[in-house]
Amino acid sequence: MTAVSQAVPAAANTGIVGVVVKGYPRLSETFIAQELLGLEARGIHLQIISLRHPYDPTTHPIHNEIAAQVSYLPEYLWREPLRVLRSWWAVRRLAGYRTARGKFWRDLWRDLTPNRIRRFGQACVLAHEYGPNLDFLYAHFLHTPASVARYAAALLNVPFAVSAHAKDIWTTPNWEKQEKIQDVRWLTTCTALGADHLRRLADDCGGRTKIHLNYHGLDFNRFPPRPSGRSTTSGGNANSPISLASVGRLVEKKGYSDLLDALALLPSEPLWRLTHVGGGPLAAALTAQAERLGLTSKIEWLGRQPQTTVQEVLRQADIFILASKIADDGDRDGLPNVLMEAQSQSVPCIATDVSAIPELIEDGTTGRLVAPGDRSALAVAITELAGDPGLRAQLAERALTKLRANFQMDGGHDAIAALIVSAAANERIVPA
């Protein structure tokens, strides 16, 4: 394991940090697991509190290395009514109940949904069943997990913080983001784009200094260099087609419909095959689209897979492609970790200049960027790299150099650990 920076304060006095997450464990959220393990390595004691039970068929090896206990809140209040009622009855006697109830009612007035009621019920269960052992709450994602953490923190009179990522930043109403910024001890996010947006909102509530930028970075111990012997194929031989790879959930924002259309535009040569890793609600629609386009025999859909399989797919790839875009509901990527994972294996990347991806990839220097939704440009970029092994090697080498210089995992983990130690040092807070 990578050595911990000596600059991180000793974490012995932080007590137990309750980490509130949407679901745990999840294959698509390796960045969370990576951070949790990093915080434990820095002496911070965690309890994972999940809003949902896992639904993936397997887990990553890293999940088995995390020591924290995992607890599950009622996913739907009506499924465990006695548990919810018992918790609500108990937390009514807490000093922070009136404050928490006030925040909840103000939110419900503007967001009259079952989801909002569910979050308050989950917060009551969290505060009653786990609260006595918790000194600090830390939520991953600014939307529902942060709501539960905010209400529970008010009930317990403890500080809380949030790690914001992608969809949660861009689909949460501004009023809600601003009020959470007002209440948090600090907020970290993983892209400069997201940090700039949140700082502009924070200016209106005096919270700019609470916003911190910490890239997730990559654990190079888990992604050691690709073995020597890079492919030099240009796809002119049926026995050695260009190996294309993509890893991502089959959802609108990942742009797989655009990628399939782009693949259908490719000329008869170079020859190619695509391997995809990931599952999602659009799986059936995308396989049907591939069949309509005559691409079925050229694509292997592997579904959800552990990180070991992802790494093997990347090591066999000549080109990695991610055609991200902004979905109709505003959902979008932040800075997908899988792009860093591909770069760590010396695979040149083709992506779109959307969200924070240009913070990692410079077009023509460390990869290729095209406009989101531009299928023709995507097809041209694939054709160009497929036919030029020398260019692929140059882009991959420069990308790896930048990745190692600017996207190491430890710096972000050191910074977040230091923020937790600083906030937890104040322990209990006075009700607002």
E strand intervals along 235-279: 242-247, 272-277
Q: Answer yes or no: is pLDDT of 191 > 90.
A: yes
How do residues 68-121 score in pLDDT, each as one tens digit?
Answer: 999 999 999 999 999 999 999 999 999 999 999 999 999 999 999 999 999 999
The mean of the pLDDT values for the chain is: 92
Place of tokens 């939704």: 373
Cβ atoms 157, 134 nearer than 8 A: no
Mean pLDDT of 197-206: 88
Mean pLDDT of 113-141: 96
Q: Examine domains 16-217+409-424 and 242-406 and report if their fold is the same.
A: yes
Mean pLDDT of 149-153: 98
Q: How far apart are CA 202 and CA 179, in angstroms?
A: 9
Q: How far apart are CA 214 and CA 239, in angstroms?
A: 44
How do residues 243-289 score in pLDDT, each as one tens digit?
Answer: 999 999 999 999 999 999 999 999 998 999 999 999 999 999 999 99
Mean pLDDT of 353-364: 96
Environment class of 111 (CB within 10 Å of its CB; exposed 0-12, middle 13-18, buried 19+): middle
Question: Lowest-confidence range among 9-18, 288-297, 414-423?
Answer: 9-18
Q: Answer yes or no: is pLDDT of 137 > 80.
A: yes
Burial of 368-389, coded b for 16+ CB within 10 Å and e otherwise, reads bbbebbbbebbbbbbbebbbeb
Question: What is the reported pLDDT for 35?
Answer: 96
Cβ atoms 300, 275 nearer than 8 A: yes
Q: Answer yes or no: is pLDDT of 342 > 50.
A: yes
E strand intervals along 296-432: 299-301, 319-322, 349-352, 368-370
Question: What is the reported pLDDT for 58?
Answer: 87
**Residue 28 pLDDT grade (very low, low, confident, very high; cuts 50, 70, 90):** confident
Q: Answer yes or no: is pLDDT of 238 > 80.
A: no
Mean pLDDT of 19-35: 94
| Domain boundaries of the chain, sorted by first residue | 16-217+409-424, 242-406
Does the domain at residues 16-217+409-424 carry the CATH identifier 3.40.50.1000? no
What the block records as the tokens of 241 is 């087609």
Q: What is the DSSP string of 124-170?
A: HHHHHHTGGG-SEEEEESTTHHHHHHHHHHHHHT--EEEEE-SHHHH
Q: Answer yes or no: is pLDDT of 380 > 80.
A: yes
In 3D space, the residue among 222, 213, 268 whose CA is nearest the CA of residue 242 turns out to be 268
Environment class of 132 (CB within 10 Å of its CB; exposed 0-12, middle 13-18, buried 19+): exposed
What DSSP designation does 235 have? S
Mean pLDDT of 146-151: 98
E strand intervals along 145-271: 160-164, 187-189, 211-213, 242-247
Question: What is the reported pLDDT for 117?
Answer: 97
How do residues 279-320 score in pLDDT, each as one tens digit?
Answer: 999 999 999 999 999 999 999 999 999 989 999 999 999 999
Question: What is the reported pLDDT for 426?
Answer: 64
Place of tokens 């026995």: 239
Does the domain at residues 242-406 carry the CATH identifier 3.10.450.50? no
Alpha carbon distances (Å) from 40 to 14, 20, 46, 330, 427: 12, 16, 7, 34, 19
